[in-house]
């Protein structure tokens, strides 16, 4: 069964996740290091981890499996989840898959290096209606994709 994991401390699309999960009858884990209000639903489970760096990330990465969906803006967490076969979606609607995660990690590391060297880097854009719409569309697409069996590459016997 496909599950949705939400790295939820600063996630602006939790309500959208609840709606999609309800439509497809999917279990959702809302993972944070503080108490967050969630709807009263047997499909939604609130997980509060200890405070500390990467505690929520570790909880998600240890439990996620093939074809689960992870909602996060955390690139290192996304990489860990993609490695396990999960689908990863950023709150602004960008899908991070095997093809995109390498570049996302490289850009993140470059920006971190620039900031630590004192270079002023631009902040992210404000989250808007277009982002919310893009997220909903991408989440719906990922749920549909996750429900289908993965195709294996064709192999041919050696001749």
* Complete DSSP assignment for 86-110: -EEE-TTS-EE-HHHHHHHHHHHHH
pTM (global) more than 0.85:
no
Domain 3-147 indexed as CATH 3.40.630: no
Instruction: Please tell me the distance from the alpha carbon of residue 147 to that of residue 138, in angstroms, as a whole number.
Output: 14
**pLDDT of 50-67, one tens digit each?**
988 889 999 999 999 999
Q: What is the dihedral of CA 114, 93, 2, 20, to 10 degrees?
A: 140
pLDDT bucket at 125, cuts 50 / 70 / 90? confident
What are the sequence ranges of the domains in the chain? 3-147
CB atoms within 10 A of CB 44: 20
The predicted structure's pLDDT at residue 115: 65
Those residues with Cβ within 8 angstroms of residue 56's Cβ, 6 or more apart along the chain or in another chain: 7, 8, 9, 31, 32, 33, 47, 49
């Amino acid at each position: 069964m496909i599950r949705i994991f939400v790295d939820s401390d600063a996630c602006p699309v939790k309500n959208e996740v609840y709606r999609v999960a309800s439509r497809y009858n999917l279990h959702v884990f809302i993972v944070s290091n503080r108490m967050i209000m969630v709807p009263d639903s047997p499909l939604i489970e609130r997980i509060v981890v200890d405070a500390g760096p990467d505690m929520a990330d570790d909880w998600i990465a240890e439990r996620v499996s093939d074809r689960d969906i992870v909602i996060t803006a955390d690139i290192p967490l996304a990489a860990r989840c993609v490695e396990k076969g999960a689908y990863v979606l950023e709150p602004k609607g960008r899908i991070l898959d095997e093809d995109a995660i390498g570049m996302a990690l490289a850009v993140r590391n470059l920006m971190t290096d620039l900031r630590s060297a004192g270079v002023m880097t631009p902040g992210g854009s404000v989250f808007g209606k277009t982002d919310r719409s893009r997220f909903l569309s991408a989440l719906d697409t990922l749920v549909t994709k996750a429900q289908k069996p993965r195709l294996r590459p064709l192999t041919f016997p050696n001749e």
